[in-house]
Chain A
Amino acid sequence: MKSFLLDVRGAVVSTLVFVVVLCGFYPVVVWAVAQGVFRDKANGSLIKDADGTLRGSSLLGQNFTGEAWFQPRPSAAGANGYDAASSSGSNLGPTSQKLADAVKDRIASYRETNGLKADEPVPADAVTASGSGLDPHISPRNAALQTARVARARNLSEDQVRSLVQSCTEGPDLGVLGDAGVNVLRLNRALEQLPSTMK
């Protein structure tokens, strides 16, 4: 009985000590170092205008639907997609009717928007929702298929747009890890800042 009571005391006291060390001291040390050394990243890699207006994060996707913009992947985050306070995938399975219908519609609309032939294959990332619903990237092939449309809508040469796409392509890390992706928000911001004459 005495040893049982000692264990009860051990359980309660150790929990409290751990709260102080692991839930107080530890996160605060990480916070202090992070804010000191990687301030920008620790605060969300935020993108701001010259006047300080917050425009998004270079790590998080935003939705774009106009033809003068590169369009990101479909998103299942929040009711309208790209809700960065409600990350989520579609969680629809391989034999889901709902998913197959959505993929069919997206393929048709992608072909129409980008002037593809009726039987031309469409990149998988362009017609599927990402895991987070906030995927900042599209595949290089997806970007290449959108280049002509964006160039036309913005009165730019395709080469100009292509070189921007190139400069916004990220990965693979260390030359080998992961897949290459084009950061859509960075790319569209670069387009917006070009002195162009939009139709």
Chain B
Amino acid sequence: MHTSDWLQLALFVGLLALITKPLGIYLTKVLDANGKTLLDPVVGPLERLTYAVMGVDRTREQNWKQYTVAMLLFSLAGCALTYAILRLQHLLPFNPQGLGPLNHHLAFNTAISFTTNTNWQSYGGEGTMSYFSQMVGLTLHNFTSAATGIAIAAALVRGITRHSAGVLGNFWVDLVRSTYYLLLPLSLVLAIFLVSQGMIQNFKPYDTATLLEPQKVQVEKKNDAGETVLGADGKPVMEEQVITDQVIAQGPMASQVAIKMLGTNGGGFVNANAAHPYENPTPLSNFLQMLSIFAIGSGLTYYLGRMTKNQAHGWSVWGAMMVLFLAGVITCWWAESRGNPIHQGLGVVLGDGNMEGKEVRFGIFNSSLFATVTTAASCGAVNAMHDSFTAIGGLVPLFMMELGEVVIGGVGAGLYGMLVFVVLAVFIAGLMVGRTPEYLGKKIQAYDVKMAMLSLLVLCLSILGFTAWASVSDWGLAGLNNSGPHGFSEMLYAYSSTTANNGSAFGGLTANPANGDPHYNVTLGFAMLIGRFLMIIPIMALAGSLVQKKIAPPSVGTFPVAGVTFTILLIGTVLLVGALNFLPALALGPIVEHFLMLKGQLF
């Protein structure tokens, strides 16, 4: 834990704080159907044209049910399109490697994964996806699932700020404006910057380089039918082969990666995601990618303050997020710097930390920071392999997801998730002092708390239920890359990541076994659907309930939703719910593994 690392952490949090206000102010204009922005002359005509062909009346607002139905129909349309593209990949253009179609359960999993802003990579990137599938099937959702999240957050904030009303805005207008005015221009700038750092953006076939030093390797001997030849001892016969070439994957990467970060999507263009030197060439590109993961989610907290005319409330929510985030970063960084005592016992330099699965250019600190950023926000891009982190280093990203992706969180999803906790915090404070709880002048009643709790319990049920099922099933154990408690962690991580719509993985787990068993792809697909839509629907119901309420003027008994007391209460609520739900499961995975690692136990 070097001084230069502390400096980078300070730089990261400082810059994030600096961009929060301008982005928040811009968001208030984007999320106002009549808002004026600098981009109006360029984007305005495109916006109006889009409404015209869609047949949308931008002045007609929707109640919570209409808003939700529009969102669901839109998600369904995009999901169906992506499923079709993946299944028909071999017939579509921009496929220089001649990659075949995805099987039905992998296509199902991937289409849902991108529709729900999860982007869990069941597929392998450069070995599976054509340029067309990446550019159309996947990039489309990188934009639209993010815009959908922002729209839902905006609707909930309107539910909080409007009173004695029925409508929450127009989904189509929020969707189109977030995409055109916010995501598209930011992505254009970021994509070009990333290319300047070495990220690729081309449509050529994969290149073949001639190695400087040809490599002799031992490979399993195959007969003419392509089957492995077995020796008398039943083991495969090995033969020597000389490798002279390196095939280098190419493609239109930068345009996809820019929105992958800004939209907290996280689905990699290539299998190794942001650890791949093309997908994250330099520490500077790494820094900007981390900042863009947090940027919009952070700006939305300022938007909350602005809309509720209580800027201190917005900053208090941001403060609670930052406290949880910094606690996560420092824990993960500490664990990774301490390294693995088992490997140190074998002769690895003590001060080097745990470098398995990490890139030299990022080192211990930037790998730990990225891991915490990507799981605190529901991004899921990775610049190091979380599966190879130490037990405690891996527990941090896992727990960040299980907190419900509310530490900045996904774009939009983080804010609406955190507002659920705000409602709960206010409710708990009300119970403690024996008054009817109020949030910004609105009474929080039984129906509201039921909806808030429903959205949280659904997460818990999906994560723990599916993990339990997988861990007692043959198909569940067959997909593991590690044994012992770490194998359990792989399953817990997979269902936590998909339910929380994060998308990072303990990547050793394979959902595509050689025997074609579809259980993982299908159950993970359902976990993503549950985590996205069964959370959004109760939240929209909550918005629909709040928007009808009157606002009572504050009195001496009103619990203030700004300041240190509120921030502490909010942090406590988030931690308490997360810990009560998940500590027992974590004890069986990373926690017990930590102690076994200290003892030197191997599996």
Contacts and interface: CB of A to CB of B under 8 A. Distances in A.
Could you say which interface size class chain A belongs to? 35 or more
Contacts of B271: 86-88
A87 to B, nearest CB: 4
A125 B243 CA distance: 24
A177 B8 contact: yes
Contacts of B76: 11
Given A80-B215, A95-B602, A178-B363, A121 B350 contact: yes
A174 interface: yes
Nearest to B46: A21
Contacts of B356: 89-90, 92, 99, 128-129
Given A7-B69, A96-B486, A177 B387 contact: no
Contacts of A62: 209, 211-213, 246
Contacts of B508: 91-93
Determine which residue in A13, A53, A131 has the highest number of CB atoms from chain B within 10 A of its CB, and name it: A131
B357 A91 contact: yes
A23 to B, nearest CB: 4
A153 interface: no
Contact of B277 (A60, A65, A127): A60
B4 A172 contact: yes
Contacts of B207: 44, 46, 54
Contact of A41 (B81, B139, B198, B596): B198
Interface in B551-603: 593, 596-597, 601-603
Contacts of A128: 343, 354-358
Contacts of B135: 23, 27
A90 B388 contact: yes
Contact of B210 (A6, A37, A45, A54): A54
B342 A173 contact: no
A103 B4 CA distance: 29
Contact of B486 (A3, A22, A55, A93): A93
Given A62-B211, A95-B596, A95-B602, A123 B346 contact: no
Nearest to B75: A11
Contact of A83 (B246, B252, B254): B246
Contact of A84 (B8, B202, B246, B342): B246
Contacts of B187: 26
Given A22-B140, A42-B202, A93 B388 contact: yes
A94 B361 contact: no
Given A22-B143, A42-B200, A176-B8, A95 B192 contact: no
A74 to B, nearest CB: 9
Interface residues of B, number: 135
Contact of B385 (A6, A9, A38, A131): A131
Nearest to B220: A79
A139 B4 CA distance: 17
Contacts of A42: 195, 199-202, 254
Determine which residue in A85, A133, A134, A192 has the highest number of CB atoms from chain B within 10 A of its CB, and name it: A85
A69 B215 CA distance: 12
Contacts of B270: 87
A4 to B, nearest CB: 7
Contact of A95 (B248, B286, B358, B484): B484
Interface in A177-192: 177-179, 181, 185, 188-189, 192
Nearest to B387: A91
A107 interface: yes
Interface in A1-60: 3-4, 6-15, 17-19, 21-23, 26-27, 29-31, 33-35, 37-38, 41-47, 53-57, 59-60
B188 A29 contact: yes
B208 interface: yes
Contacts of B136: 19, 23
Given A82-B246, A177-B283, A73 B360 contact: yes
Contacts of A178: 282-284, 286, 361-363, 366
B387 A89 contact: yes
Contact of A89 (B209, B275, B281): B275
Interface string B468-488: 000000000000011111100
Contacts of A53: 210
A73 B360 CA distance: 10
A196 interface: no
Contact of B348 (A79, A122, A137, A192): A122
Given A35-B201, A94-B389, A100 B343 contact: yes
B277 A135 contact: yes
Contacts of A139: 352, 360
Determine which residue in B219, B347, B602 has the highest number of CB atoms from chain A within 10 A of its CB, and name it: B347
A31 B202 CA distance: 6
A40 B428 CA distance: 59
B349 A176 contact: no
Contacts, number: 403
B201 A30 contact: yes
B248 A132 contact: no
Contacts of B254: 30, 34, 42
A12 B275 CA distance: 36
B127 A95 contact: no
Contacts of A79: 219
B27 interface: no
Nearest to B596: A95
A129 B210 CA distance: 23
Determine which residue in B126, B135, B187 has the highest number of CB atoms from chain A within 10 A of its CB, and name it: B135
B432 interface: no
Given A103-B346, A121-B348, A129-B357, A59 B202 contact: no
B346 A10 contact: no
A170 interface: yes
A14 B333 CA distance: 44
B349 A130 contact: no
A37 B482 CA distance: 45
B176 interface: yes
B38 interface: no
B247 interface: yes
Nearest to A43: B202
A18 B360 CA distance: 39
A32 B520 CA distance: 40
B536 interface: no
B276 A137 contact: no
Given A11-B73, A14-B74, A92 B188 contact: no
Given A13-B55, A64-B213, 15 more contacts: A15-B81, A54-B210, A56-B212, A73-B360, A90-B388, A91-B506, A94-B342, A94-B388, A121-B350, A124-B343, A124-B349, A124-B354, A127-B348, A177-B283, A178-B284
Interface of A: 3-4, 6-15, 17-19, 21-23, 26-27, 29-31, 33-35, 37-38, 41-47, 53-57, 59-66, 69, 73, 77, 79-80, 82-97, 99-100, 103-104, 107, 111, 119-125, 127-139, 141, 170-174, 176-179, 181, 185, 188-189, 192
